């Protein structure tokens, strides 16, 4: 059975209403059968896109403090050592995962631990792969801590189409690896900042599966 994320319930209901109305109006107001079918096919395609975007498949995380799982579905587009300017203010290993509109857009906790920091930043809507997207786009920054990895930062970044970031992480709360951490609507990316020397299990260009696939380990 297909599950949908709660952030999409309102949009799905609206899309369903619009789709049914559009199909009925085309049937009753247009006399050309081929045009009616074409319009109805386009409406159904629109509804399918909305439904697949908000799907929320059940994932089972390894629940292992010595590994990190991918926080989202998508493609690894950045692996490099960089200066993290907001929280650590020192060099970290950055791993960025880009989500296309057809990916599952649920954000999941990469590890179990305590939320040490959670902050929202308004900003621009540059394309998600732009070099300045990490510091200039709308984004949220979250830092998790556990005894094995220490502090790990992840950043939800809005893209050119993403107009809303949902973040459930609250400072001081305990979270569980693989659980729902938020949602990014309509395309974007997530950056991870890991301790230098962290062993990665992914390479540039790899496609990853959020909540289950191990991308790094101690």
Cα dihedral 25→26→32→34 (10° resolution) = -160
139: Cα within 13 Å, side-chain hemisphere: 24
Say what the pLDDT of residue 163 is: 58
Using the predicted structure, report yes or no on whether residue 161 has a pLDDT greater than 70: no
Say what the pLDDT of residue 133 is: 62
Count of residues making up the chain: 218
At 16, the pLDDT band (50, 70, 90 cuts) reads very high
**C-beta separation of 123 from 138 below 8 A:** yes
35: Cα within 13 Å, side-chain hemisphere: 7
**C-beta separation of 121 from 95 below 8 A:** no
Using the predicted structure, report yes or no on whether residue 162 has a pLDDT greater than 60: no
- In the annotation, is 188 catalytic? yes
Report residue 47 as tokens.
């509804």
Say what the pLDDT of residue 122 is: 87
Q: d(Cα 159, Cα 189) in Å, to the nearest integer?
A: 7
Say what the pLDDT of residue 42 is: 96
Span 164-190, average pLDDT? 90
User: Which candidate, 94, 17, 45, 57, places its Cα nearest to that of 178?
Assistant: 57
Say what the pLDDT of residue 49 is: 87
Using DSSP bridges, classify how beta strands 199-200 and 214-217 pair: parallel, antiparallel or unpaired. antiparallel
C-alpha distances (whole Å) from 77 to each of 26, 59, 109, 150, 181 are 43, 23, 20, 24, 21
* Helical H segments across the chain, by residue range: 9-29, 33-53, 133-136
The pTM of the full predicted model, rounded to 2 decimals, is 0.86
Catalytic residue (one of 96, 134, 188, 203) = 188
How many percent of the chain have pLDDT more than 90?
75
At 6, the pLDDT band (50, 70, 90 cuts) reads very high
User: What mean pLDDT value characterizes the chain?
Assistant: 91
pLDDT digits (tens, 9 = 90+) for 69-124: 999 999 999 999 999 999 999 999 999 999 887 888 899 999 999 999 999 998 77
pLDDT digits (tens, 9 = 90+) for 195-214: 999 999 999 999 999 999 99
Which phi and psi (to 5°) does residue 136 adopt? -115, -20
109 Cβ partners below 8 Å, 6+ apart?
A: 71, 144, 169, 175, 176, 177, 178, 179, 181
Span 49-60, average pLDDT? 90
Span 38-48, average pLDDT? 95
């Amino acid at each position: 059975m297909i599950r949908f994320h709660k952030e999409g319930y309102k949009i799905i209901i609206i899309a369903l209403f619009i789709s049914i109305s559009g199909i009925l109006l085309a049937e009753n107001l247009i006399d050309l059968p081929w045009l009616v079918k074409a319009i109805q096919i386009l409406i159904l395609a629109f509804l399918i896109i909305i439904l697949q975007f908000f799907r929320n498949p059940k994932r089972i995380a390894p629940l292992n403090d010595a590994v990190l799982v991918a926080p989202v579905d998508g493609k690894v587009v950045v692996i490099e050592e960089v200066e993290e300017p907001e929280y650590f203010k020192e060099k970290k290993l950055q791993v960025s995962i880009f989500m296309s509109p057809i990916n599952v857009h649920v954000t999941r906790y990469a590890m179990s631990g305590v939320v040490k920091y959670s902050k929202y930043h308004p900003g621009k809507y540059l394309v998600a792969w732009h070099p300045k997207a990490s510091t200039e786009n709308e984004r949220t920054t979250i830092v998790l801590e556990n005894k094995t990895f220490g502090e790990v930062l992840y950043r939800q970044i809005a893209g050119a189409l993403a107009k809303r970031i949902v973040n459930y992480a609250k400072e001081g709360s305990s979270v569980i690896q693989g659980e729902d951490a938020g949602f990014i609507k309509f395309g974007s990316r997530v950056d991870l900042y890991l301790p230098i020397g962290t062993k990665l299990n992914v390479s540039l260009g790899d496609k990853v599966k959020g909540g289950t696939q191990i991308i790094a380990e101690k």
